[in-house]
Structure 1
Protein backbone atom coordinates (compact mmCIF):
# COMPACT_ATOMS: atom_id res chain seq x y z
CA UNK A 1 0.00 0.00 0.00
CA UNK A 2 1.25 3.49 -0.86
CA UNK A 3 2.31 5.85 1.90
CA UNK A 4 -0.80 7.55 3.29
CA UNK A 5 0.32 10.03 5.93
CA UNK A 6 -3.25 11.28 6.52
CA UNK A 7 -4.14 7.75 7.64
CA UNK A 8 -1.05 7.15 9.76
CA UNK A 9 -0.98 7.68 13.51
CA UNK A 10 2.38 8.16 15.22
CA UNK A 11 2.34 7.42 18.94
CA UNK A 12 5.42 8.40 20.87
CA UNK A 13 5.29 6.28 24.02
CA UNK A 14 7.73 6.58 26.89
CA UNK A 15 8.92 3.12 25.73
CA UNK A 16 9.46 4.12 22.06
CA UNK A 17 7.75 5.12 18.83
CA UNK A 18 4.76 3.27 17.36
CA UNK A 19 3.36 3.72 13.85
CA UNK A 20 -0.24 2.73 13.24
CA UNK A 21 -1.89 2.40 9.84
CA UNK A 22 -5.40 3.77 10.22
CA UNK A 23 -8.17 1.85 8.49
CA UNK A 24 -10.95 4.22 7.35
CA UNK A 25 -12.05 1.43 4.98
CA UNK A 26 -13.09 -0.56 8.09
CA UNK A 27 -14.21 2.15 10.53
CA UNK A 28 -14.43 5.65 9.02
CA UNK A 29 -16.13 7.22 12.05
CA UNK A 30 -13.65 5.76 14.52
CA UNK A 31 -10.64 6.76 12.42
CA UNK A 32 -12.02 10.29 12.15
CA UNK A 33 -12.41 10.43 15.97
CA UNK A 34 -8.87 9.12 16.62
CA UNK A 35 -7.41 11.72 14.22
CA UNK A 36 -9.55 14.50 15.72
CA UNK A 37 -8.45 13.65 19.28
CA UNK A 38 -4.80 13.31 18.23
CA UNK A 39 -4.91 16.69 16.50
CA UNK A 40 -6.39 18.27 19.64
CA UNK A 41 -3.58 16.82 21.78
CA UNK A 42 -6.13 14.80 23.76
CA UNK A 43 -3.95 11.67 24.01
CA UNK A 44 -0.74 13.50 25.00
CA UNK A 45 0.27 12.37 28.49
CA UNK A 46 -2.50 9.75 28.76
CA UNK A 47 -1.45 6.42 30.33
CA UNK A 48 -2.05 2.79 29.44
CA UNK A 49 -4.17 1.92 32.48
CA UNK A 50 -4.70 -1.77 31.65
CA UNK A 51 -1.87 -3.90 30.28
CA UNK A 52 -2.43 -7.66 30.25
CA UNK A 53 0.43 -9.82 28.89
CA UNK A 54 -0.64 -12.06 26.03
CA UNK A 55 -3.83 -10.04 25.56
CA UNK A 56 -3.72 -6.26 25.13
CA UNK A 57 -2.68 -2.78 26.28
CA UNK A 58 -5.54 -0.33 26.84
CA UNK A 59 -5.30 3.45 27.05
CA UNK A 60 -7.05 6.61 25.95
CA UNK A 61 -8.74 7.51 29.23
CA UNK A 62 -7.60 10.94 30.45
CA UNK A 63 -8.47 9.98 34.06
CA UNK A 64 -6.22 6.89 33.87
CA UNK A 65 -8.92 4.80 35.58
CA UNK A 66 -10.64 3.10 32.66
CA UNK A 67 -13.86 4.98 33.37
CA UNK A 68 -13.27 8.19 31.44
CA UNK A 69 -13.35 9.46 27.90
CA UNK A 70 -13.44 12.58 25.80
CA UNK A 71 -16.25 15.15 26.06
CA UNK A 72 -17.31 14.17 22.52
CA UNK A 73 -20.40 12.01 21.93
CA UNK A 74 -19.97 8.24 21.92
CA UNK A 75 -19.50 6.54 18.56
CA UNK A 76 -21.89 4.23 16.75
CA UNK A 77 -20.36 0.75 16.49
CA UNK A 78 -18.55 -0.04 13.25
CA UNK A 79 -17.93 -3.73 13.89
CA UNK A 80 -16.08 -5.41 11.03
CA UNK A 81 -14.59 -8.74 10.06
CA UNK A 82 -10.97 -7.75 10.68
CA UNK A 83 -9.40 -10.28 13.09
CA UNK A 84 -8.09 -9.25 16.50
CA UNK A 85 -4.49 -10.43 16.17
CA UNK A 86 -1.08 -9.09 17.25
CA UNK A 87 -0.75 -5.38 16.48
CA UNK A 88 -4.44 -4.75 15.79
CA UNK A 89 -5.87 -1.53 17.27
CA UNK A 90 -9.48 -1.64 18.37
CA UNK A 91 -11.85 0.58 20.32
CA UNK A 92 -12.73 -0.14 23.94
CA UNK A 93 -16.35 0.22 25.03
CA UNK A 94 -18.84 -0.60 27.78
CA UNK A 95 -21.39 -3.42 27.31
CA UNK A 96 -23.32 -0.93 25.11
CA UNK A 97 -22.06 -1.55 21.54
CA UNK A 98 -22.42 2.18 20.75
CA UNK A 99 -20.31 3.44 23.69
CA UNK A 100 -16.80 3.73 22.20
CA UNK A 101 -15.41 7.21 22.78
CA UNK A 102 -11.63 7.68 23.19
CA UNK A 103 -10.31 4.50 24.82
CA UNK A 104 -8.59 1.95 22.62
CA UNK A 105 -6.48 -1.16 22.92
CA UNK A 106 -3.62 -2.74 21.02
CA UNK A 107 -3.56 -6.54 20.88
CA UNK A 108 -0.38 -8.29 22.03
CA UNK A 109 -1.52 -11.62 20.66
CA UNK A 110 -4.42 -13.47 19.06
CA UNK A 111 -7.70 -12.28 20.66
CA UNK A 112 -10.10 -13.63 18.03
CA UNK A 113 -12.86 -14.04 20.64
CA UNK A 114 -13.29 -10.24 20.29
CA UNK A 115 -13.90 -10.42 16.53
CA UNK A 116 -17.12 -8.76 15.41
CA UNK A 117 -17.77 -7.30 18.88
CA UNK A 118 -15.27 -4.42 18.94
CA UNK A 119 -14.38 -1.92 16.21
CA UNK A 120 -10.97 -2.50 14.62
CA UNK A 121 -9.63 0.84 13.35
CA UNK A 122 -5.94 0.27 12.72
CA UNK A 123 -2.84 -1.88 12.94
CA UNK A 124 0.67 -1.33 14.23
CA UNK A 125 3.13 -1.34 11.32
CA UNK A 126 6.28 -0.38 13.30
CA UNK A 127 7.19 -0.25 16.96
CA UNK A 128 5.31 -3.19 18.44
CA UNK A 129 8.39 -3.65 20.68
CA UNK A 130 7.48 -0.34 22.37
CA UNK A 131 3.97 -1.67 23.05
CA UNK A 132 5.44 -4.94 24.37
CA UNK A 133 7.62 -2.89 26.77
CA UNK A 134 4.69 -1.14 28.49
CA UNK A 135 4.49 -1.77 32.25
CA UNK A 136 2.01 -4.54 33.11
CA UNK A 137 -0.96 -4.30 35.46
CA UNK A 138 -4.60 -3.31 35.95
CA UNK A 139 -3.50 -0.60 36.57
CA UNK A 140 0.29 -0.81 36.35
CA UNK A 141 2.14 0.57 39.40
CA UNK A 142 3.97 3.04 37.13
CA UNK A 143 1.93 3.06 33.91
CA UNK A 144 3.48 3.67 30.51
CA UNK A 145 2.15 6.69 28.72
CA UNK A 146 1.55 8.31 25.38
CA UNK A 147 3.99 11.21 25.25
CA UNK A 148 2.36 12.40 22.01
CA UNK A 149 -0.08 11.20 19.36
CA UNK A 150 0.16 12.80 15.93
CA UNK A 151 -1.38 12.22 12.52
CA UNK A 152 1.44 11.54 10.06
CA UNK A 153 0.35 14.33 7.70
CA UNK A 154 0.87 16.86 10.51
CA UNK A 155 4.43 15.83 11.39
Structure 2
Protein backbone atom coordinates (compact mmCIF):
# COMPACT_ATOMS: atom_id res chain seq x y z
CA UNK A 1 0.00 0.00 0.00
CA UNK A 2 0.98 3.60 -0.35
CA UNK A 3 2.28 5.36 2.74
CA UNK A 4 0.29 8.40 3.78
CA UNK A 5 0.74 11.24 6.20
CA UNK A 6 -1.62 10.91 9.18
CA UNK A 7 -3.31 14.08 10.36
CA UNK A 8 -2.67 14.93 14.00
CA UNK A 9 -6.41 15.29 14.46
CA UNK A 10 -6.78 11.59 13.75
CA UNK A 11 -4.80 10.81 16.90
CA UNK A 12 -7.15 12.52 19.33
CA UNK A 13 -8.68 9.28 20.56
CA UNK A 14 -12.28 9.02 21.69
CA UNK A 15 -12.90 12.78 21.53
CA UNK A 16 -12.61 12.64 17.75
CA UNK A 17 -15.79 10.58 17.55
CA UNK A 18 -17.64 13.87 17.94
CA UNK A 19 -16.04 15.35 14.84
CA UNK A 20 -18.69 16.50 12.39
CA UNK A 21 -16.62 17.66 9.42
CA UNK A 22 -14.12 15.32 7.79
CA UNK A 23 -12.11 15.65 4.61
CA UNK A 24 -11.75 12.83 2.10
CA UNK A 25 -8.32 13.17 0.48
CA UNK A 26 -8.48 11.18 -2.74
CA UNK A 27 -6.29 10.61 -5.77
CA UNK A 28 -8.80 12.69 -7.76
CA UNK A 29 -9.03 15.62 -5.32
CA UNK A 30 -10.28 16.46 -1.84
CA UNK A 31 -13.77 17.15 -0.54
CA UNK A 32 -15.43 17.64 2.84
CA UNK A 33 -18.37 15.88 4.47
CA UNK A 34 -20.43 17.15 7.41
CA UNK A 35 -21.42 14.23 9.63
CA UNK A 36 -24.72 14.19 11.51
CA UNK A 37 -23.31 12.97 14.81
CA UNK A 38 -26.23 14.20 16.91
CA UNK A 39 -29.04 12.63 14.88
CA UNK A 40 -27.25 9.48 13.65
CA UNK A 41 -24.82 8.98 16.57
CA UNK A 42 -24.28 5.22 16.28
CA UNK A 43 -23.49 5.42 12.57
CA UNK A 44 -21.09 8.35 12.95
CA UNK A 45 -19.35 6.65 15.87
CA UNK A 46 -18.97 3.52 13.74
CA UNK A 47 -17.55 5.53 10.82
CA UNK A 48 -15.10 7.35 13.08
CA UNK A 49 -13.78 4.06 14.46
CA UNK A 50 -12.49 3.25 10.98
CA UNK A 51 -11.08 6.76 10.64
CA UNK A 52 -9.29 6.66 13.99
CA UNK A 53 -7.82 3.21 13.26
CA UNK A 54 -6.67 4.33 9.78
CA UNK A 55 -8.72 1.59 8.13
CA UNK A 56 -9.91 3.91 5.39
CA UNK A 57 -6.38 4.89 4.37
CA UNK A 58 -5.75 3.41 0.95
CA UNK A 59 -9.28 2.10 0.35
CA UNK A 60 -10.59 2.47 -3.17
CA UNK A 61 -13.90 3.49 -4.66
CA UNK A 62 -14.89 0.00 -5.72
CA UNK A 63 -18.34 0.57 -7.16
CA UNK A 64 -19.71 3.22 -9.48
CA UNK A 65 -23.23 3.19 -10.86
CA UNK A 66 -23.49 6.38 -12.96
CA UNK A 67 -26.35 8.67 -11.96
CA UNK A 68 -26.92 6.47 -8.90
CA UNK A 69 -24.16 5.80 -6.33
CA UNK A 70 -20.39 5.89 -5.78
CA UNK A 71 -19.30 3.37 -3.16
CA UNK A 72 -16.19 2.76 -1.05
CA UNK A 73 -14.97 1.69 2.36
CA UNK A 74 -14.72 -2.03 1.64
CA UNK A 75 -11.55 -2.86 -0.31
CA UNK A 76 -7.96 -1.74 -0.85
CA UNK A 77 -5.16 -2.66 -3.24
CA UNK A 78 -1.97 -4.20 -1.83
CA UNK A 79 -0.03 -4.71 -5.04
CA UNK A 80 -1.93 -7.70 -6.38
CA UNK A 81 -5.39 -8.96 -7.32
CA UNK A 82 -7.78 -9.89 -5.73
CA UNK A 83 -8.30 -6.81 -3.62
CA UNK A 84 -7.94 -6.98 0.15
CA UNK A 85 -10.97 -6.40 2.34
CA UNK A 86 -11.24 -3.82 5.12
CA UNK A 87 -11.33 -5.45 8.55
CA UNK A 88 -14.75 -4.91 10.09
CA UNK A 89 -15.63 -3.71 13.58
CA UNK A 90 -18.98 -5.47 13.30
CA UNK A 91 -22.45 -4.28 12.43
CA UNK A 92 -24.20 -1.07 13.46
CA UNK A 93 -27.88 -0.35 14.12
CA UNK A 94 -29.81 1.28 11.30
CA UNK A 95 -30.70 4.99 11.78
CA UNK A 96 -32.88 6.00 8.79
CA UNK A 97 -33.49 9.61 9.87
CA UNK A 98 -32.51 11.45 6.69
CA UNK A 99 -33.31 11.09 3.01
CA UNK A 100 -31.00 9.67 0.34
CA UNK A 101 -30.89 12.84 -1.75
CA UNK A 102 -28.01 13.91 -3.97
CA UNK A 103 -24.78 14.68 -2.11
CA UNK A 104 -25.48 12.58 0.97
CA UNK A 105 -23.35 9.72 2.29
CA UNK A 106 -25.13 6.57 3.50
CA UNK A 107 -24.23 3.12 4.81
CA UNK A 108 -24.24 0.04 2.58
CA UNK A 109 -25.65 -3.18 3.99
CA UNK A 110 -26.86 -6.69 3.20
CA UNK A 111 -30.31 -7.24 1.72
CA UNK A 112 -33.04 -8.25 4.13
CA UNK A 113 -31.10 -7.07 7.19
CA UNK A 114 -31.50 -3.37 8.09
CA UNK A 115 -28.88 -3.60 10.86
CA UNK A 116 -26.09 -5.16 8.79
CA UNK A 117 -23.95 -2.11 7.86
CA UNK A 118 -20.23 -2.37 8.69
CA UNK A 119 -17.47 -0.39 6.92
CA UNK A 120 -18.94 0.36 3.51
CA UNK A 121 -20.72 3.55 2.53
CA UNK A 122 -21.83 5.27 -0.66
CA UNK A 123 -22.45 8.77 -1.99
CA UNK A 124 -25.81 9.43 -3.62
CA UNK A 125 -25.14 10.90 -7.06
CA UNK A 126 -28.78 11.88 -7.51
CA UNK A 127 -31.99 11.96 -5.50
CA UNK A 128 -32.47 8.26 -4.66
CA UNK A 129 -35.04 8.86 -1.94
CA UNK A 130 -37.97 7.12 -3.61
CA UNK A 131 -35.98 3.91 -3.67
CA UNK A 132 -33.39 3.92 -0.88
CA UNK A 133 -35.45 5.66 1.79
CA UNK A 134 -37.87 2.74 1.98
CA UNK A 135 -36.14 -0.50 1.04
CA UNK A 136 -34.46 -2.75 3.62
CA UNK A 137 -35.50 -0.50 6.49
CA UNK A 138 -34.15 2.58 4.72
CA UNK A 139 -30.47 3.27 4.04
CA UNK A 140 -28.91 5.35 6.84
CA UNK A 141 -27.75 8.78 5.66
CA UNK A 142 -25.19 10.06 8.16
CA UNK A 143 -23.69 13.10 6.46
CA UNK A 144 -23.60 15.29 3.39
CA UNK A 145 -20.95 16.71 1.09
CA UNK A 146 -20.45 20.43 1.71
CA UNK A 147 -18.98 23.37 -0.20
CA UNK A 148 -17.99 22.52 -3.76
CA UNK A 149 -17.15 18.94 -2.83
CA UNK A 150 -19.61 17.39 -5.25
CA UNK A 151 -17.42 18.66 -8.09
CA UNK A 152 -14.82 16.09 -7.04
CA UNK A 153 -17.41 13.35 -6.51
CA UNK A 154 -18.95 14.07 -9.92
CA UNK A 155 -15.48 14.00 -11.50
CA UNK A 156 -14.97 10.48 -10.18
CA UNK A 157 -18.49 9.52 -11.27
CA UNK A 158 -17.64 10.40 -14.89
CA UNK A 159 -14.76 7.93 -15.11
CA UNK A 160 -15.01 4.74 -17.14
CA UNK A 161 -15.58 1.53 -15.24
CA UNK A 162 -14.19 -1.97 -15.45
CA UNK A 163 -17.10 -4.07 -14.27
CA UNK A 164 -18.46 -1.51 -11.81
CA UNK A 165 -15.07 -0.25 -10.60
CA UNK A 166 -14.03 3.26 -11.69
CA UNK A 167 -10.48 3.36 -13.05
CA UNK A 168 -8.20 5.91 -14.69
CA UNK A 169 -6.03 5.19 -17.75
CA UNK A 170 -7.43 1.68 -18.08
CA UNK A 171 -9.11 1.08 -21.41
CA UNK A 172 -12.03 -1.22 -22.11
CA UNK A 173 -9.64 -3.37 -24.16
CA UNK A 174 -7.50 -3.87 -21.05
CA UNK A 175 -10.61 -4.51 -18.98
CA UNK A 176 -11.68 -7.32 -21.31
CA UNK A 177 -8.19 -8.88 -21.26
CA UNK A 178 -7.93 -11.41 -18.42
CA UNK A 179 -4.13 -11.19 -18.52
CA UNK A 180 -3.98 -7.44 -17.82
CA UNK A 181 -4.41 -6.26 -14.23
CA UNK A 182 -5.04 -2.69 -13.05
CA UNK A 183 -2.43 -1.38 -10.64
CA UNK A 184 -2.21 1.26 -7.92
CA UNK A 185 -2.17 4.11 -10.43
CA UNK A 186 -5.47 3.01 -11.96
CA UNK A 187 -7.60 2.76 -8.84
CA UNK A 188 -9.31 5.79 -7.27
CA UNK A 189 -7.92 5.67 -3.74
CA UNK A 190 -8.64 7.52 -0.54
CA UNK A 191 -5.28 8.64 0.78
CA UNK A 192 -6.71 9.74 4.14
CA UNK A 193 -9.86 10.82 5.93
CA UNK A 194 -8.96 13.67 8.29
CA UNK A 195 -10.90 15.68 10.85
CA UNK A 196 -11.46 19.30 9.86
CA UNK A 197 -13.81 20.53 12.59
CA UNK A 198 -14.63 18.68 15.82
CA UNK A 199 -17.37 21.08 16.93
CA UNK A 200 -20.38 18.81 17.31
CA UNK A 201 -22.77 21.62 16.32
CA UNK A 202 -21.44 22.21 12.81
CA UNK A 203 -24.59 20.66 11.33
CA UNK A 204 -26.72 23.42 12.86
CA UNK A 205 -26.29 25.48 9.70
CA UNK A 206 -27.46 22.66 7.44
CA UNK A 207 -31.00 21.67 6.52
CA UNK A 208 -30.82 17.94 5.67
CA UNK A 209 -33.94 16.41 4.16
CA UNK A 210 -35.81 14.12 6.55
CA UNK A 211 -36.85 10.61 5.50
CA UNK A 212 -40.63 10.89 5.49
CA UNK A 213 -41.30 7.86 3.29
CA UNK A 214 -40.43 5.12 5.76
CA UNK A 215 -43.25 4.39 8.18
CA UNK A 216 -42.28 2.64 11.44
CA UNK A 217 -45.21 0.22 11.15
CA UNK A 218 -44.33 -0.90 7.63
CA UNK A 219 -43.15 -4.51 7.31
CA UNK A 220 -39.83 -4.77 5.48
CA UNK A 221 -38.85 -7.63 3.19
CA UNK A 222 -35.73 -6.29 1.54
CA UNK A 223 -37.54 -3.84 -0.70
CA UNK A 224 -40.09 -6.10 -2.37
CA UNK A 225 -43.15 -4.31 -1.02
CA UNK A 226 -45.87 -2.05 -2.37
CA UNK A 227 -44.90 1.21 -0.69
CA UNK A 228 -43.17 2.69 -3.71
CA UNK A 229 -39.76 1.06 -3.35
CA UNK A 230 -38.03 -0.78 -6.15
CA UNK A 231 -38.82 -4.47 -6.50
CA UNK A 232 -35.08 -5.08 -6.91
CA UNK A 233 -34.30 -3.62 -3.50
CA UNK A 234 -33.15 -6.86 -1.92
CA UNK A 235 -30.71 -7.61 -4.73
CA UNK A 236 -29.40 -4.05 -4.69
CA UNK A 237 -28.76 -4.27 -0.96
CA UNK A 238 -26.72 -7.45 -1.36
CA UNK A 239 -24.71 -5.96 -4.20
CA UNK A 240 -23.97 -2.92 -2.09
CA UNK A 241 -21.63 -5.11 -0.04
CA UNK A 242 -20.17 -7.25 -2.82
CA UNK A 243 -19.04 -5.48 -5.99
CA UNK A 244 -15.26 -5.37 -6.31
CA UNK A 245 -14.36 -8.56 -4.49
CA UNK A 246 -16.68 -10.74 -6.55
CA UNK A 247 -15.72 -9.13 -9.87
CA UNK A 248 -11.99 -9.57 -9.39
CA UNK A 249 -12.26 -13.08 -7.98
CA UNK A 250 -14.19 -14.19 -11.03
CA UNK A 251 -11.91 -12.35 -13.43
CA UNK A 252 -8.48 -13.22 -12.09
CA UNK A 253 -8.81 -16.30 -9.85
CA UNK A 254 -9.40 -19.03 -12.38
TM-score by length of 2: 0.54
With a CA cutoff of 8 Å and minimum separation of 6, indicate the structure with the bigger relative contact order: 1
Q: Which structure is higher in strand share?
A: 1
Match of 1:105 among 110, 115, 122: 122
Q: Which consecutive residues of structure 1, in runs of 5 or more, have no partner in the other structure?
A: none
CA distance in 2 between counterparts of 1:136 and 1:114 reads 25
**Aligned-pair CA distance for 1:52:** 1.4
Q: Which consecutive residues of structure 2, in runs of 5 or more, have no partner in the other structure?
A: 1-17, 168-185, 199-254
CA distance in 2 between counterparts of 1:136 and 1:57 reads 13
Q: Which structure is higher in helix share?
A: 2
Local SS of the residue matching 2:75: coil
Local SS of the residue matching 1:42: coil
Q: 1:125 to 1:83 in 2, by over 3 A?
A: same
1:114 aligns with 2:132: yes
CA RMSD of aligned residues (A): 2.2
CA distance in 2 between counterparts of 1:102 and 1:151 reads 18
1:151 aligns with 2:195: yes
Q: Who is 1:57 aligned against?
A: 70
Match of 1:124 among 134, 145, 164: 145
| Larger radius of gyration between Structure 1 and Structure 2 | 2
Q: What is the number of equivalent residue pairs in this alignment?
A: 149
